[in-house]
Structure 1
Amino acid sequence: MLQIAPLLAWTTLAAAASSLDHWNALNSSVGGRLYVGIPLARPCFELADTAGSTNATQCEAVRNGWTNSLFLVDQFGAFMNTQWGSCQKTSKSCLIHGFNVSDPSPSDAPNVCEQGSVPSFYIDVRNASDVQAAFTFSRRTGVPLVVKNTGHDYKGRNSAPGSLALWTHNLRSLSYNASFVPAGCHISKVKPGVTMGAGTIFNDVVAFAEANNITVLTGAETSVGASGGWLMGGGHGALSNTLGLGVDRVLEFKIVTPDGSFLTANECQNTDLFWALRGGGGGTFGVVLESTTLASPKMSLQVAFAAFSPNNTNATRGFYEVLAENSLRWAEQGFGGYIGPSQAIYVTPKLNSSETAATMQPLFAYMKSLAPNDPGVQFFAVEVPSYGAFFDKFITGAPVGENAVIASRFIPAANFANKTSRATLVDALMQTLAHVTYSLGIMVTTPFNVPDDGSTSVTEAWRTSIWSAIAEGAWDGATPLANETAAYTGISNAANFLRAITPDAAYQNEADVYEPNHKVSFWGTHYPRLLKIKHKYDPDNLLMCWHCVGYDPKSPRFSCYI
């Protein structure tokens, strides 16, 4: 039997559920897998207004794993960007120093571990009936629901104060069918497909693909869920230029909708839902338990790498100028990759080694010009035998275990079209970089060579863009939360230099919390149709998240946003 009486001091959730009997009934219906949500750093605190207890051994494990995404992904109370476990508006949190994890002062008295926005309870989801029970419970009691998978979310959509979470991370199945036919479809629809549980992470997908001599598109952080919000929000990766977005490649979803139905959505049944899930965003139309995605043959890749010393800031403008001048050609040649202020990684499956060396000559020549005065200069082109080899050697992922805020903008082909437009773009990049508090990242992952055939619901701007530029800010997890408004506003303002020269378009999974026109930015002309489908499958709005389709900014579940 679930024991929640001691928790009444720190949550009103039991009152919202009317009685302990409701909670015990829910716990029974999900096989005893209803648990109390405990902030990750709770074992390090002597004083707490949460469940859990002080434990030196557990605290040491938390400190050692605080900046390791593969550790965090296995902890329900962990969030890759730590502010989303806090109630930012009230400064209630349970955090240690992300920049100095061994410092005991944030967890020492008189500091108190508080629940913040960590969901008060969660179900360790293992099957459809668990989700169906949660929907019934929420409808009956009014307790808000959130969907949490791996903890990767730049906009806090996987947490809310006083909520019940559906934790899908332990749905980790993986299988390959070289002759997959979507349910209800004719045999002519047969394609090679990999079926992945919602919690399956990129690390596992890449290793599985290598073992089966296939290629499966992923993003650049090892612990992101391949069937979760990454996929339903669009899903970009280094090979998206030629293979498309994740939503271009998905063949089928298995989903529980808020009315309790367990549905299969593909191009032959529940087609409206299939369209919505291919870009409409996660945690919105239902809870996806698994997806099947197209598998491509194993392929060799050409990789070009260039870098100079990060403190050689005088080289950045020239670096951007070379990239801007050549990016249209490189996009047509299938190059994707990642750019920082002092580094670029490009990869393509379309060229051979001599063609790659020739087309990258302008970039390598610039690196060579820097080399006499910069010992940090590196540049080379190399062939790797597979996407897995590229992933293991070149993908490092994003920093975790600290507060982070971002704002992004698609940079379309028009900004690279001529000398004047390129100069304007470089000026905007330099202005943005001057106003960020961490870095400026550029994703060269837009599906430039994959046309929009109308089967997905992402913004049409994906198809005409060359870059997705991301302004990034970060601050320590134990920094006073009163400073956070300035951090969010500052990064949003930094992105305004790029907003001024581009159409209204951004990637919803890597977007500004204050995105000024999110319906158009994320979905272009598709929002009205998405909202209609949302009302069809979730008329009671049981699933609601920040800047998701149908969200209400006045909802109490957003009371901790600033």
Structure 2
Amino acid sequence: MAFVFTALLGAYLGWESCWPSASEWAALNSTLRGDLLEVRPIAHVCHDPFYNHSACQNLLDLARDSGWRASQPGALQGWIWEAGRTEDETCHAHSPRGVPCHQGRIPLYSAAVESVDQVQAAVRFAQRHRLRLVVRNTGHDTAGRSSGSDSFQIHCHRMKQIEYHDNFRPIGSDIVHGPAVSVGAGVVLGEVYERGARDGWVVVGGECPTVGAAGGFLQGGGVSSFHSFINGLAVDNVLEFEVVTAKGEVVVANDHQNPHLFWALRGGGGGTFGFVTRATMRVHRNGPVCMSEVAVSGPRNNSLLWTRGIAGLFSILRSFNQQGTPGQFILQSLSDHQVNASLTLYSLNTNDTRRVAENMLSIQKVLESTTLPFSLASTCLSKVSDVLRKGPDILPASYGILTGSVLVSEDLFNSEQGPLHLANQLQQFPMGPEDLLFTSNLGGNVTADPGKKHMSISMHPGWRQAAHLINFVRSVSIPTTHEKARSLEELHSIQMRKLYNIEPGFRVSYRNLGDPLESDAARVYWGPNYKRLLEIKRKWDPEDVFFSQRGVGSEGWADDRMSPAIIDIRQSKFESSIPDQVIEGLTKEVKTLPALLFYSTEGIRHWNHHSHAADFYPRLEELCILKAEASKMAASIAEDSLLIDMGSASMDKVILLLDALEEQKKSITYYALDLSYSELASNLQAIPVDRFHHVRFSALHGTFDDGLHWLQNAPEIRNRPRCILLFGLTIGNFSRENAASFLRNIAESALATSPAQSSIIVSLDSCKLPTKILRAYTADGVVPFALASLGYANSLFHPEGNGEVFNEQDWYFHSEWNHALGRHEASLITRSKDVQLGAPLGTVVVRRDEKIRFGCSYKYDRDERGQLSRSAGLQDIAEWTAPDCDVAFYQLGLLPN
């Protein structure tokens, strides 16, 4: 086996001394008895240089089989978390063969373990080398915890032991607990259901047969759509865990041995406290079940559908819950205008058809009074296991989903207005045609005797007061990283907000189906239990060998799956317009070059170097003001704002504002806008995301005009407050007339939707001292910045390298202060002679004393700044400055009508 990857794993890079050497990897492979695998995305066989026609066709035939995907270390259940944040981090089977296959979030290596001693060896290896460790069985996690960029995976799918116990007694206990089953880490629920159907028992589990029985589902709580009402949560039924700790030791956790760890594993989340190699849980009678189903449908805008039809379904569910019968409500949007709602009731341990008939009659009476069309159906089965899916699970094409969830309290659900309140809230809930909203019935045995039960599990105590769990599944069927980023943001900012607003005082969510961008995970998943969970985490895993995103103890780690998404918003490739602008500028009487020409990747690198020079006062003064005034600036920005950074060339300034926003616990989405993709990615990678829980990050790849177009047309952010940042003296680069026009355009495009809460924060320079200005704009780095534009121009006109418009040796940078216009002017001049340009500008001659101007920096005194604001239709809101600084920040808002 050959190992060819060199990448970042955990905290270390491939060239650092702690990175495993080839011999160390080989030794691990030997210890694992040849079960260390080098992993590539499953679709690599459909792309050069690995293309294999038969293997690719076989992949296309199997790719929708959930069971097959669970067995593949290079796959997850959907494409969402296989892909990274950009198209350069994806590998799709259906994309053209010549498109490169990138690793994305697929781990680099996998230990395909089938025994406890192999798990121990893999964990010790990860601990010794501080590798980013991913624990995976089936790859079902809907928030990306089953994968990780540049990681080492332990794949436990081969650990298939199932052992039935007639009367289980935990290790260290004299008490027996009746019939139970022990399952290995790789067992899936379908295999447990199949064994139980044969032997006459069932366990509390979920509906998907390929979900792991002992992993994240169980350790995150384990909810059944109807079984939990009768037999509690899955973690209520756990009797014992076998665990490999972060030190690679095997321990047993139950009520008698390591009880604190046992408590943490019952709801604290998978892949966090240790590697569970075996779980033992109670089994229950596999008795008969009768199901009654009712459905209503109609136009979304039909108020009767909601206030009488869907409210009626919730009233029926409430009534049957009070009689001891669980049920599940499902809401689907069949199109943009049509919805369907259904309710299935489960009468367990009975096959009394007369009782079913009575149930159907009572349901019919409720719905007949609504005057809405409805359908009724019923059936009885001899075993409840027949309801549970055990066979193949075939996924939809281009399968990708995101999830969100919220609990509904018994107080609300059982109140007189509870059903109508839920219906009214769901009427306002935005859903697409392939989205799904469904409930899981809690109450019953989940909440029975809460005084006795509430300390038995580590989930939020609100679970012991909950009637139902509302789950939302958002389909993301267009497999692009742009659609992924858009869907994540809309789920978090719009749909999750709607779910939490159902019952604002009862803000509890289910981590297994939680919002991937959840910014308050500790509070909504664990509440007051979090402090104790964190203490247990520190005891059993002080070095964070196990890392679970949005998990206990994850605050100190960067969240790779939430690395800022870069959204390509370009209306056209701006490079294609630059040559035309160059030709137009150089054939005029006063010659100019377009600003875009100077902001290539190399140009921006040189500019950043220049702007960090000691004499470049604009940056130093901006930093000085931000260090002193960032808190006040943050306080002026509205909660839930979009923060669009349109003018900062680096993160060192804006990070001070972001830190202040985080300190004030403001929910903010920050977007960096830039022309250069590589600079954008570099700046975003420098963000210390581990310290931000309220501020979220994204990026926009495009021009100013592209950014304004996006602000006007992106539906997911249309109604949110906006704060536009124009740091770095960006406005000074425009002529005075164009600056006012640009600000007016921003005001009309970005502020008008929420004018009272939206604003622009702009930095302006009032300095008109020539010596200070010229010293700043001739500082180190500016000459390479200016000359880099010439090489960029040559590459645009002659991409094959077979010609040049400019010979860089002929040119030099010229700086001067224009007192009459109050601006600094930057130009290119010939070194010593007239210069004839190359094709296609061969007829253009630049004289020895002629300048090609490419940039101006206008300075604004107080009168000029006031005129600028008025011309743009803006008014002053606030001003931030510092002693001895010529630069100042101004907050501007729309003038009242």
Residue in 1 aligned with 2:482? Answer: 482
**Superposition pairs of residues 416-455 of structure 1, within 5 angstroms:** 416-432=413-429, 434-436=430-432, 438-450=434-446, 451=448, 452=450, 453=453, 454-455=455-456
Aligned to 2:710: none
Alpha-carbon distance in 2 for matches of 1:429, 1:513: 21
Partner of 1:61: 58
Separation in 1 of the partners of 2:391 and 2:315? 24
**Whole-angstrom distance in 2 between the partners of 1:489 and 1:127:** 41
Whose radius of gyration is greater, 1 or 2? Answer: 2
Within the candidate set 321, 331, 341, 1:331 is matched to 321
- Mark the CA change 1:558 to 1:468 in structure 2 (over 3 Å): closer, same or farther: same
Correspondence for 1:549 = 552
Aligned match of 2:126 in 138, 153, 170? 138
* Equivalence for 1:320: 310
Q: What is the CA-CA distance between 1:394 and the residue it aligns to?
A: 12
Q: CA deviation at 1:509?
A: 0.1
Moved more, 295-304 or 169-178: 295-304
Contact 1:301–1:349, Cα closer than 8 Å, also in 2: yes
SS in 2 for 1:254: strand
1:414 matched to 2:417: no
Matched residue, 2:272: 284
User: Counterparts of 1:521 and 1:398 in 2: how far apart (Å)?
Assistant: 30
Could you state the TM-score of these two structures normalised by the residue count of structure 2? 0.57
Counterpart of 1:534 in structure 2 is: 537
One-letter amino acid of the counterpart of residue 549, structure 2: W
Distance 1:399 1:308 in 2: 25
Determine the C-alpha separation between the residues in 2 that align with 1:310 and 1:210.
Answer: 39
Q: Which amino acid aligns with 1:27?
A: N
- 1:118-163 alpha-carbon deviations (Å, 9 max, x no partner): 0000101122222222222222222210101101011101111111
Identity, % of aligned positions: 26
Conserved in 2, the CA contact under 8 Å of 1:173 and 1:200?
yes
Q: What is the CA-CA distance between 1:472 and the residue it aligns to?
A: 2.5
Give the Cα–Cα distance (whole angstroms) in 1 for the partners of residues 223 and 372 of structure 2: 37
Decide whether aligned partners of structure 1 residues 370 and 556 sit closer, same or farther in structure 2, where only a CA change above 3 A counts: closer
Does residue 388 (structure 1) correspond to residue 389 (structure 2)? The answer is no
Aligned ranges for residues 74-473 of structure 1 at < 5 Å?
A: 74-89=71-86, 91-96=88-93, 104=94, 106-109=95-98, 111-186=99-174, 188-237=175-224, 238-308=226-296, 314=302, 316-317=305-306, 318-341=308-331, 342-349=341-348, 352-361=352-361, 363-365=363-365, 378-392=375-389, 402-432=399-429, 434-436=430-432, 438-450=434-446, 451=448, 452=450, 453=453, 454-473=455-474
Q: CA separation in 2, counterparts of 1:29 and 1:542? A: 20
> In the alignment, which residue of structure 2 is the partner of 1:34?
36
Offset at residue 486 of structure 1 (A): 1.8
**Structure 1 residues 140 and 556: alpha-carbon distance in aligned structure 2, compared to 1, 3 A threshold:** farther
Structure 1 residue 232: deviation in Å?
Answer: 0.4
Q: List per-residue Cα deviations over 1:356-394 (Å, max 9, x = no partner).
A: 443454544566789996xxx642222211121122499
**Rounded Cα–Cα distance in structure 2 between residues aligned with 1:391 and 1:311:** 32
Pair 1:152–1:64, CA change in 2 (3 A):
same
User: Which range moves more in the overlay, 326-335 or 215-224?
Assistant: 326-335
In 2, the alpha carbon distance for the partners of 1:497 and 1:439 equals 15
Alpha carbons 1:220, 1:396 under 8 Å: kept:
no
Q: Distance between the aligned counterparts of 2:142 and 2:463, measured in 1?
A: 20
Q: 1:294 to 1:10 in 2, by over 3 A?
A: closer
Q: Alpha carbons of 1:393 and 1:225: their partners in 2 closer, same or farther (altered >3 Å)?
A: closer
Stretch deviating more after TM superposition (117-126 or 86-95): 86-95
- Measure, in 2, the Cα distance between the counterparts of 1:371 and 1:81: 42
**Gaps spanning 5+ residues in structure 1: where?**
48-52, 97-103
Question: How far apart, in 1, do the equivalents of 2:397 and 2:274 lie?
Answer: 28
* Contact 2:297–2:305, Cα closer than 8 Å, also in 1: no
Task: State the distance in 2 between where 1:126 and 1:435 align.
Answer: 42
Unpaired runs of at least 5, structure 2: 332-340, 566-897
Distance in 2 between residues matched to 1:442 and 1:472, nearest whole Å: 8
Q: CA RMSD in A?
A: 2.8
Q: Is the 8 A contact 2:296 2:372 kept in 1?
A: no
**C-alpha distance in 1 between matches for 2:526 and 2:173:** 28
Question: Which structure would you say has the larger RCO, counting Cα contacts within 8 Å and 6 or more residues apart?
Answer: 1
Equivalent residue for 1:50? none
Q: Is the 8 A contact 2:410 2:443 kept in 1?
A: no
Distance in 2 (alpha carbons) for counterparts of 1:214 and 1:498: 36
Shift of 1:425: 1.8
Residue 410 of structure 1, CA deviation: 0.8
Could you tell me which amino acid in structure 1 is paired with residue 286 of structure 2?
K
Question: 1:101 — aligned with what?
Answer: none
| One-letter identity of the residue aligned with 1:542 | V
Match for residue 494 of structure 1? Answer: 495
Whole-angstrom CA distance in 2 between matches of 1:288 and 1:60: 36
Q: Name whichever of 550-559 and 469-478 sits farther off.
A: 550-559
Alpha-carbon deviation of 1:423?
A: 2.5
Letter in 1 for 2:535: K
* TM-score, normalization by structure 1: 0.89
In 2, the alpha carbon distance for the partners of 1:74 and 1:396 equals 13
Q: Secondary structure at the match of 1:107?
A: coil
SS at match of 2:312: helix
Deviations 1:248-277 (A, max 9, x none): 001111110101210111111111111111
For the 8 Å contact 1:143–1:164, the answer to whether it is kept is yes
Task: Give the CA deviation at 1:561.
Answer: 6.1
Displacement of 1:558 after TM fit? 4.4
Question: How far 1:487 sits from its partner (Å)?
Answer: 0.6
Write the distance in 2 (CA, Å) between the matches of 1:404 and 1:295: 31
Question: How has the CA–CA distance of structure 1 residues 91 and 324 changed in structure 2, closer, same or farther, with 3 Å as cutoff?
Answer: farther
Check 1:525–1:436 CA distance in 2 against 1; reply closer, same or farther (3 A cut): farther
1:10/1:115 contact within 8 Å kept: no
- What amino acid is the match of 2:509? A
Distance 1:371 1:418, change over 3 A: closer
- Counterpart contact for 2:75–2:82, Cα < 8 Å: yes
Q: Amino acid of the residue matched to residue 424 of structure 1?
A: H
SS at match of 2:417: helix
Sort the Cα spacing of 1:465 and 1:440 in 2 relative to 1 into closer, same or farther, 3 A: farther
* 1:316/1:3 CA distance change after superposition, 3 Å: farther
Rounded to whole Å, the distance in 2 between the matches of 1:519 and 1:140 is 29
Amino acid corresponding to residue 70 of structure 1 in structure 2? G
CA contact (8 A) 1:301 1:385 kept: yes
Instruction: State the SS of the aligned residue for 2:42.
Output: coil
- In the alignment, is the contact (CA less than 8 A) between 1:307 and 1:367 conserved in 2? no
